Each structure stands twice: as C-alpha cells, then as structure tokens.
Amino acid sequence: MFHEKLLFKLNVLYQKLEEDILPSISSSKDFELDYNIMRYKNIFHELFPNLSIDEIRKLLLLLKLVSDRSKENLHRVEIVSSGISNMNLPVRETIGVIRQLLFEASHYIFMTGYAISSYFHQLADLLRYKGTQGVTIEIFIENNHKENLKHLLDHLNIENLKVYKYNNPSRHSALHAKTIVVDYQTAFITSANLSYNGMINNIEIGAFIEGKQVENIVKIFEELKNQGFFESIN
C-alpha cells in the first residue's frame, strides 16, 4: 500500500513538472529555480526530505533529459490508401501523400520500388525540381522494366541523383519493398507500385510514419548495397 501511494505521488509530481516546468528548462545550461519551480519545493521535500535546492535543480535537469529522450522515440503513424476516392473516410490517398513527402524534402529523398510506369514521370518532374534545390535523391529499383528505367534516367538528368538496380543472382528473390523516406525523419511504406494503378486505381494500403526508427529503412538498403545486392546504373 505504501509503494502504491508513493508511486501515485511521484506520478502526479512528474505530470505537473512535465506540463508546467520541464518545457521551460534548457538542459544545455544552468538555470535558476524561479517561483514557478519553487511552487513544488514542498512536494519535493515531502518525497525527498533531505534534498537541497541544488539537488532539486539537478533532479529537474535529469527529468528534462529523460523527457526529451522519450519524445525523440515517439512515432506518429497514419494509414494511407489508394482506390478510395469515392469513399467518405478520414484516410488520405497514396498519390497525395507521396507528393507531399517529396515536396517537403529539404536535403534527402530515398525511394524503393518494384515496378515503375510512364505515370511516374509526373513525380519525376517534382524530383527533378527538388534536385535543382540541392536535395540528394537515391532510388533503389527492381531490375525489370528496363525501358522505363531508361526513360526515368533520361528524364531525371540531375547531378545529385543515384539510381540502383537489384542485383541478386537468385531468380526467386526480388526487390518488392515500396518505400519513401524523406530527411531520415518521415517515411511512407506502401503496397502500391510507382504506377498509375498502384497510386490511383488499385486498392492499396500504406502507412505514413514519423519517428527515429525511420532511418533504419535507409540503413537496411545501405547494408544491402555494401554487400553487393545493388549496383549503380547512372
């Protein structure tokens, strides 16, 4: 019973600090215990009778660090779909999410796909525009539809573009992942190919994701490239 009461008091204290105090604390420099913080002095001393003012300050810095780290690992997930334009659902469509992601990129765009079609050229115009702004673009693609790949490279004739094709000798393996990562922070993982049917016509489901785990998508393909599963074609 004692532990339950203690945990309850600690939880109440932490919630109040996180709402009222921690956002105003800079963990990179010293800060003064102003009136707002001193309001909780009695609660601190009830739970920790021997804490000095300096120790309260250090404890608050520690709580600030823990709070910031937990927020870094938060993820936001949003369901996305193709082929539902005539349905009254709170779900965004694939093509709109892709365009938003590419348009908002500030320094890096990463894409993987199984199949592309001539419809992808509409997105290629946006990619070329982002390339002229200095955004680095990497595209990993399955080794098929060679004619479409050639058209893509001709259309995206920009210096900071790298295109890689899958190079696995096993005929039973293929690059089937369809992903877009922007600035290592946001990602779109989908069942849709980079084609009209995939982005507009078919029933496809995907997820828009924000969070620290997003960068692991890029790391997977970097490791595959290092092991020789992809080769540059431009």
CA 217 – CA 59 distance, rounded (Å): 36
Of residues 121, 145, 155, 183, which has the active-site annotation?
A: 183
Catalytic annotation present for 178: yes
Q: 36-68: b or e for each residue (b if 16 or more CB lie within 10 Å)?
A: ebeebeeebeeeeeeeeeeebbeebbebbeebe
CA 37 – CA 31 distance, rounded (Å): 11
Q: Angle at which helices 121-132 and 146-155 pack, to 10 degrees? A: 40
Of residues 64, 130, 165, 178, which has the active-site annotation?
A: 178
Please name the residue that has the structure tokens 């496809």. 204
Residue 138, Cα to own-chain centre: how many angstroms? 16
Q: 72-86: b or e for each residue (b if 16 or more CB lie within 10 Å)?
A: eeeeeeeebbbbbee
Catalytic annotation present for 176: yes
Of residues 107, 176, 212, 219, which has the active-site annotation?
A: 176
Task: Tell me the catalytic residues.
Answer: 176, 178, 183
